[in-house]
Amino acid sequence: MPPLISAALDNPATYFSWGWLQISVGNLIVILVMFVLFILALVLPFPGGHDDGGDGS
Amino acid sequence: MSKTKKVDPAAAPWQGPWRKYDILKEGVIALIVVALLSVGLAGVFSSPDEKALTFQGWATSAPDNFFATTVGELAGTTESAGYGPPYNEGGDGVSVGPLNMQKLMGVRNPVNPADDFVITPLSSSQQSQETVDALKAWKDASADQQAAWATAFDDAVQATADEEGVLDLTKVEEGDYGPVPVLAKALTDMATSGAYDGVLLAQDPNGFYQMDHTKQILFMGDGSYLDDFGTVQNLQGNTWGMMNETGSYPGQAWLWLYSFWYQLPVFNAPDDADPASMTAQLSGSADALIFYIMGLLTILLVLLPFIPGVRSIPKWIPLHKLIWRDYYRSIRG
């Protein structure tokens, strides 16, 4: 499986263009993943639950 | 006399709840997760594996361009020859107003295109008697004579270009070009055979590992081969190339802001723009100007907490209250 993926990635990239803006599909995916991770980091609760009362005081 | 003292709320002892927290444990977990992801993803996706460009590939696929570039190196008309510091005194380099960092740094990595790219490589290997004679004629000639031969031949070669810039070396007019045609043909033959690849690396007297590819990149950059490859792979600066990688791999997306400036028309003048125009002049110094713009923006980022208005953005967009919503809910309630 890996050789197939890397062979496909060695092919020329597809680019999206909007006027003067141009971005490759690879970069767009990475940016969207970063954006999704940022949103998840904002909205997901901290691990360990809501122990605002404190357990070490 | 009573003295009133202002109490800094940030210096007051913490009155809220406490909890144990193991930062080493979190760091180790993060390290393991990132290491596993890196190794796993590298195993699945591999890495860009574009074959290296070679002089043999250039001379084989575009022999006329290689030949003409060699003539340009001898004539001193190539970009390398006129680059200026840190390679030579052939140009002034980019400047912003009176500030010219290239000149200030001086020639730190001397490169003489005619000698380093053409004469020395030809002299370092066995050549035909015709080439040996041509090398002797070149070395015995004065600098003025060398320049006269090479410039005349360079002009004659460039004069064969059609409207699209494609050369036709069969149409070069007769003239007094001295040994230049023989030298350029010999170097083209040497490159076509593959003997030229590696010769420039071997010139580095200090390099045990020979990792300095400066000369190869300069020579290759003077011709069309490297430039055409950059265009095919979308790596040109005026098409966001700084962000891109060869093939379909994601590139350096974090360089979007640096790359952005190169897309602006003031830093992106067409090749046929009037050299005296403001746009052409700004484009000519784009690398230096954008370097300073990014430096200024970086300083502003560092000084963010001290800039009125900008430092108040968290008040207007209180993302921190979303992250620590439990705490803010508790103090509200």
3-state SS, B54-116, equals CHHHHHHHCHHHHHHHHHHHHHCCCCCCCCCCCCCCCCCCCCECCECHHHHHCCCCCCCHHHH
Contacts of A17 in chain B (CB under 8 A): none
Q: What is the pTM of this model?
A: 0.82
**Greater pLDDT, B279 or B297:** B297
Residues 19-48 of A with CB under 8 A from B: 20-27, 29-31, 41-43, 46
Give yes or no for a contact between B73 and B57, defined as CB atoms under 8 angstroms apart. Answer: no
A16 SS3 class: strand
Query: B21-53 pLDDT, tens per residue?
Result: 899 999 999 999 999 999 999 999 888 888 889
| CB contact B50 to A (< 8 Å) | yes
| CB contact A55 to B (< 8 Å) | yes
Contacts of A2 in chain B (CB under 8 A): 43-46
Give yes or no for a contact between B13 and A48, defined as CB atoms under 8 angstroms apart. Answer: no
Please determine, for residue A57, whether its predicted confidence score (pLDDT) is greater than 60: no
Confidence bin at B116 (pLDDT 50/70/90): very high
Contacts of A11 in chain B (CB under 8 A): 247-248
Give yes or no for a contact between B53 and B228, defined as CB atoms under 8 angstroms apart. Answer: no
pLDDT of residue A1: 47
Q: What is the average pLDDT score of chain B?
A: 90
Count Cβ atoms below 10 Å from residue A53 Cβ, excluding itself.
9
Number of A/B CB contacts below 8 angstroms equals: 94
Query: B195-213 burial string, b = 16+ CB within 10 Å, else e?
Result: bbbebbeebeeeeeeeeee
Check B323 against A42: CB less than 8 A apart.
yes
Of B50, B251, B326, the CB nearest to A24: B251
Helices B180-193 and B143-158, packing angle to 10 deg: 70
Nearest residue in A to B323, CA atom: A42
**What is the value of ipTM here, to two decimals?**
0.78
Structure tokens at B184: 């350029």
> Which residue type sits at B291?
F
Query: A7-55 pLDDT, tens per residue?
Result: 777 788 889 998 888 999 999 999 999 999 999 989 888 776 554 444 4
Distances in Å between the Cα of B225 and the Cα atoms of B16, B32, B64, B149, B231 are: 67, 44, 11, 26, 10
What is the mean predicted confidence (pLDDT) over B111-116?
Answer: 96
Helices B63-75 and B214-222, packing angle to 10 deg: 110
Structure tokens at B265: 């028309």
In angstroms, the CA B287 to CA B294 distance is: 11
| CB contact B243 to A (< 8 Å) | yes
- Highest mean pLDDT, choosing among B66-80, B234-248, B260-274: B66-80
Q: Which of A23, B275, B316, B332 lies closest to B324 in space, CA to CA?
A: B332
- Nearest-Cα distance to chain B for A48, in Å, is 11
